[in-house]
Amino acid sequence: MAELSDKQLKIGIWWVTHKHQLKKWWVILIAVGDVLLFLYLLFNIMIIVFTWSKFTILPYQISWSAVNFKDYQLTNAPKDLQVLNTKYIPVFGQANKYHLLAELKNPNEKWNVGSLDYHFDFDGQNQGIQNTFLLPQEQRFLIQYNVKSTSAKPDPKFLIDNVGWERIERPTEAPSLKFNIGNIESNLIPLLDDKGVETSSYSTRVTAEVENKSVYNFWQVNFQVVLFRGEEPISVGEIQIEKFLALETRNLAVSWKEAYPVISKIVIQPQVNVYDPNALFKSTPVETTPLSD
C-alpha cells in the first residue's frame, strides 16, 4: 500500500472535519437558487397577467399598416400643369389671322408628361386637339399658327384635354436637356428686288449659338423663337436642327419678312423629348480608308 504524503493527509483531514459544513452550504446554495428561480417565474407571470390585453391585440396591430396610403398617394401625386399665359399675335400683313401662344409649366420634379392632349379655343371655335410632351420642371410655349378670327377683340383660351403622367423614380439620374444658348443677336436685313438691288424695306434676322452640353445625340431638335416688345410677344418662329451631336455647337438663324426694329427680349426654347428613345441615336465612328502608296 502506497504511503500518503503530508499534503494528502492534510486535505483528507480538512475534508472530514468540514464535510458537514460543505453539505450545509451546498443545500443553502440550492435553496437560494430555487428561490431566485421562483421569483423570476413569478415576475414573468405577473408581467403576462398585467399585459395580457396588449398581447391579445398584437396580431391585429401587426396586420394593420401604420401607413395611410390615401395620404401617401395625395402627397406624391403630380401637381397640376400651370398655364401661365395665353396670348395671340396678329399675323403681319394678313387680316384676321393670328398666332396663338400658351405658356405652360410642369412644376413636378418626379413626373414627366409623356403625352399631352390640348386645344385652343379662339372666339368659341375649337381649333382641334394637338399633342405634345412636357419634361419635368419644363416651361415653354405651345404655339398654333395662322388661326382665323373676324372678331375685333379675339378671346383665346387654352384647354387641357388629357395628361399622360410618367413617374420618374430617380430624378437626379434621369436624362435632362442641357442646351447653352448664347450670342443672341437680331439684325435688320435690307430686302432685295427682282434685280438684286436693295430696297427701302427690311426683314428681321435672329442668330444665336447653341451648344448641346448633354451626353445625348438627337436626331432632331426644334427651337422656338419668340420676339418680345416689352412684355408682349410680337412674333414667333421655329427652326429645326438635324443630327445634333453631344457637346456640339451649332449656329441658329431665323428670319422674318417683316421689320422689327424694337425688340426688348428674345426667347429661344429647345423642344425635344429626351425620354423618347426614338429621339436619340448613338454616334458611329467615321470610317477612314488608308492612303495607298
Give the range among 28-37, 86-95, 125-134 with minimum mean pLDDT: 28-37
| Predicted pLDDT of residue 31 | 80
Q: Provide the CATH topology of domain 80-173.
A: Immunoglobulin-like (2.60.40)
At 189 the three-state DSSP class reads: strand
Q: Label residues 184-202 b or e (16+ Cβ within 10 Å = b).
A: bebeeeeeeeeeeeeeeeb
Grid-cell match 420618374, residue found = 168
pLDDT of the residue at 4: 63
pTM over 0.75: no
Q: What percent of the chain has pLDDT over 70?
A: 86
Average pLDDT of the residues in 95-99? 93
The stretch 48-63 carries a mean pLDDT of 68
pLDDT digits (tens, 9 = 90+) for 137-181: 999 999 999 999 888 888 999 999 999 999 998 888 888 889 999
H or E segment to which residue 181 belongs: strand 179-192
279: nearest Cα among 243, 235, 240, 239: 243
**264: Cα separation from own chain's centroid:** 32
Q: Which residue has the higher pLDDT, 123 or 241?
A: 241
Angle at 11 between CA 6 and CA 13, to 5 degrees: 90
pLDDT for the residue numbered 118: 98
Position 19 confidence tier, pLDDT thresholds 50, 70, 90 = confident
Q: What is the DSSP letter of 129?
A: -
Residue 288: its pLDDT value, please? 44
**Model confidence at 283: pLDDT above 80:** no
What is 179-281's CATH topology?
Answer: Immunoglobulin-like (2.60.40)
Confidence of residue 83 (pLDDT cuts 50, 70, 90): very high
- What does the DSSP assignment read for 46-94? HHHHHTHHHHHHHHHHHHS-SS-HHHHHHHHSPPPPEEEEEEEEEPTT-
What is the spatial distance between Cα 83 and Cα 166, in angstroms, rounded to a whole number? 20
Per residue in 207-240, pLDDT (tens digit) is 999 999 999 999 999 999 999 999 999 999 999 9
Q: What are phi and psi of 266, to 5 degrees?
A: -125, 120
Lowest-pLDDT range, 74-78, 213-217, 283-287?
283-287
Report the DSSP pairing between strands 198-212 and 82-90: unpaired
Q: Which three cell numbers stand for residue 51?
A: 399585459
Task: Identify the pLDDT of residue 293.
Answer: 44
Q: Can you spell out the DSSP letters for 1-52?
A: -PPPPHHHHHHHHHHHHHHHHHHHHHHHHHHHHHHHHHHHHHHHHHHHHHTH
* 210 neighbors 223 (Cβ within 8 angstroms): yes
